[in-house]
């Protein structure tokens, strides 16, 4: 299977980069090896020419005889060819047998330059051989009386260069082949890992959240897979919460609807007296009121969860408590329940919409609903430099310890019959919890069965002076 295009691109990029790097290394090392060899040859040529030139210096002129005499004394010079010329470039001695040029003019560039008084050295590497040519002037009292020319054709050193370059090239080819192979393997492996992730994403898109990617290692693919697994876990949890909510909501809505149906069927089917009929119709009315309240609360919950930008305003908690008391006094009076308050002044809170009113209303209403006749609901307001603490305490039946952790869940009711009778929907406290959280507060509950319940809400205190100070800062 071919790697996907991005992986192929990466692999080709690795190959191209390493190819360039190896090419550069090869050229660089070849150049360095040759330069080193040339330098060695130069030193060797100097070492060979210098004794010959020194042996000639002091002579008035170079002749065939004195040159041959000196050369024979020096012995084997161990070079390919040596030519000694007079000051006119005429050859006086030539070590070459085949191309001997004694008596003829030597027209080599090196000879011309040496007769001009310069030391000359040329070296080239060609066709596996190292060819070096050097020439040195022979001078007596500052006058050039001739020159010594030397040529060396070294196949042994040429072979060393050729072998070295070949070894480098062979190593590079093997290395590059290994890189190509590794790149292909790597891209196939990583494209396999990518395919695994893509398949899982496709499955998740089709609603299959149970599928988990199992991937070893600690590279980006493994991290991506781990993130994907966490995402599907969250989606799964939120989907099951949503399912649970829909099933709870439909169940809750079904109950009053069934009662309405039952009551209306009874009215239609039975011959009943007017008083009973009135009672049944009143029951239908209260069931539909309950449906309306539930629909309203569901709307509030939905709004709370999905509100993105909210209007905030500074509210005085004391005034909000008074407002809530005014609204709930009729309900409390019906059962002779006393609403009392111990309210500190200046408890300012920054509240989104009328959240604080809704929080207090639900808590005080519950305090009345789940109270005994003649009981009381007490609200206390206290503030510190940072927080406002609101306590709503009642003298009701209390909440069993095992139920305390569930009362903020949607549709949860400790005593279903009692809650329904009191017009409850099991949504009030979940709304309170959402509203407290979105106003950056906390809520706590403590209860003693048979004695009462206390809810404590802590919200950030809005310090007017501190805020104005902030506003005035440049
Ligand atoms: P409901 O609409 O049924 O009152 P809530 O979410 O407001 O729903 O309350 C959930 C349950 O918690 C209630 O059904 C009730 O059993 C219990 N509860 C809430 N407040 C109190 C309280 N002050 N005293 C006793 N029980 C309470």
Return d(Cα 191, Cα 433) in angstroms, integer. 47
Q: Counting atoms of ligand 1 from 1, which one is nearest the CA of 420?
A: 3
Q: Residue 344: which of 394, 393, 387 has the closest Cα? A: 387
Question: If you take atom 7 of ligand 1, which residue's CA is the nearest one?
Answer: 428
Q: Can you give the pTM of this predicted structure? A: 0.57
The answer to whether the CB of 412 is under 6 A from ligand 1 is yes
Residue 457, pLDDT > 80, answer yes
137 within 8 A of 115, measured Cβ to Cβ:
yes
pLDDT of amino acid 1: 46
Residue 474, pLDDT > 60, answer no
- CA-only gyration radius of the chain, Å: 53
- Burial call 173-207: b when 16+ CB within 10 Å, e when fewer: eeebeebbeebbeebeebbebbeebeebeeebeee
Residue 455, pLDDT > 90, answer yes
Confidence of residue 387 (pLDDT cuts 50, 70, 90): very high
Q: Counting atoms of ligand 1 from 1, which one is nearest the CA of 362?
A: 7
Residue 240, pLDDT > 70, answer yes
DSSP 105: B
Residue 326, pLDDT > 90, answer yes
Confidence of residue 416 (pLDDT cuts 50, 70, 90): confident
The answer to whether the CB of 152 is under 6 A from ligand 1 is no
The answer to whether the CB of 232 is under 6 A from ligand 1 is no
């Amino acid at each position: 299977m071919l790697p996907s295009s991005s992986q192929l691109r990466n692999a080709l990029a690795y190959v191209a980069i390493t190819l360039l790097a190896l090419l550069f290394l090869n050229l660089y090392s070849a150049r360095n090896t040759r330069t080193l060899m040339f330098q060695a040859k130069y030193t060797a040529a100097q070492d060979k020419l210098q004794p010959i030139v020194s042996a000639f210096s002091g002579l008035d002129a170079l002749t065939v005889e004195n040159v041959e005499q000196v050369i024979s004394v020096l012995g084997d010079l161990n070079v390919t060819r040596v030519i000694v010329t007079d000051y006119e470039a005429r050859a006086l001695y030539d070590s070459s047998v085949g191309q001997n040029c004694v008596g003829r003019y030597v027209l080599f560039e090196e000879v011309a330059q040496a007769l001009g008084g310069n030391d000359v050295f040329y070296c080239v590497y060609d066709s596996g051989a190292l060819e070096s040519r050097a020439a040195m002037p022979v001078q007596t009292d500052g006058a050039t009386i001739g020159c010594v020319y030397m040529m060396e054709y070294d196949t042994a050193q040429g072979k060393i260069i050729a072998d070295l370059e070949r070894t480098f090239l062979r190593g590079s080819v093997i290395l590059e082949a290994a890189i190509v192979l590794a790149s292909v393997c790597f891209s196939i492996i990583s494209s396999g890992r990518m395919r695994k992730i893509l398949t899982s994403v496709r499955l998740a898109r089709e609603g299959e959240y149970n599928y988990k990617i199992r991937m070893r290692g600690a590279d980006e693919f493994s991290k991506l897979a781990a993130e994907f697994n966490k995402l599907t876990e969250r989606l799964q949890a939120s989907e099951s919460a949503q399912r649970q909510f829909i099933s709870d909501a439909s169940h809750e809505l079904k109950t009053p609807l069934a009662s309405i149906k039952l009551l209306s069927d009874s009215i239609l089917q039975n011959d009943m007296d007017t008083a009973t009929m009135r009672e049944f119709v009143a029951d239908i009315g209260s069931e539909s009121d309950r449906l309306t309240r539930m629909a309203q609360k569901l709307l509030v919950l939905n709004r709370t969860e999905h509100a993105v930008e909210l209007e905030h305003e500074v509210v005085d908690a004391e005034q909000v408590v008074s407002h809530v008391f005014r609204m709930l006094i009729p309900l409390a009076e019906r059962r002779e329940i006393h609403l009392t308050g111990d309210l500190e002044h200046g408890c300012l809170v920054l509240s989104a919409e009328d959240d604080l009113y809704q929080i207090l209303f639900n808590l005080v209403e519950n305090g009345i609903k789940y109270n005994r006749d003649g009981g009381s609901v007490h609200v206390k307001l206290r503030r510190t430099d940072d927080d406002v603490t609101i306590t709503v305490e009642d003298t009701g039946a209390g909440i069993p310890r095992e139920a305390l952790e569930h009362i903020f869940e949607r549709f949860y009711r400790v005593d279903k019959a009692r809650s329904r009778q009191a017009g409850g929907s099991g949504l009030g406290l979940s709304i309170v919890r959402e509203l407290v959280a979105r106003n950056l507060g906390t809520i706590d509950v403590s209860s003693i069965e048979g004695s009462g319940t206390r809810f404590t809400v802590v919200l950030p205190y809005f310090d007017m002076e501190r805020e104005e100070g902030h506003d005035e800062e440049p």
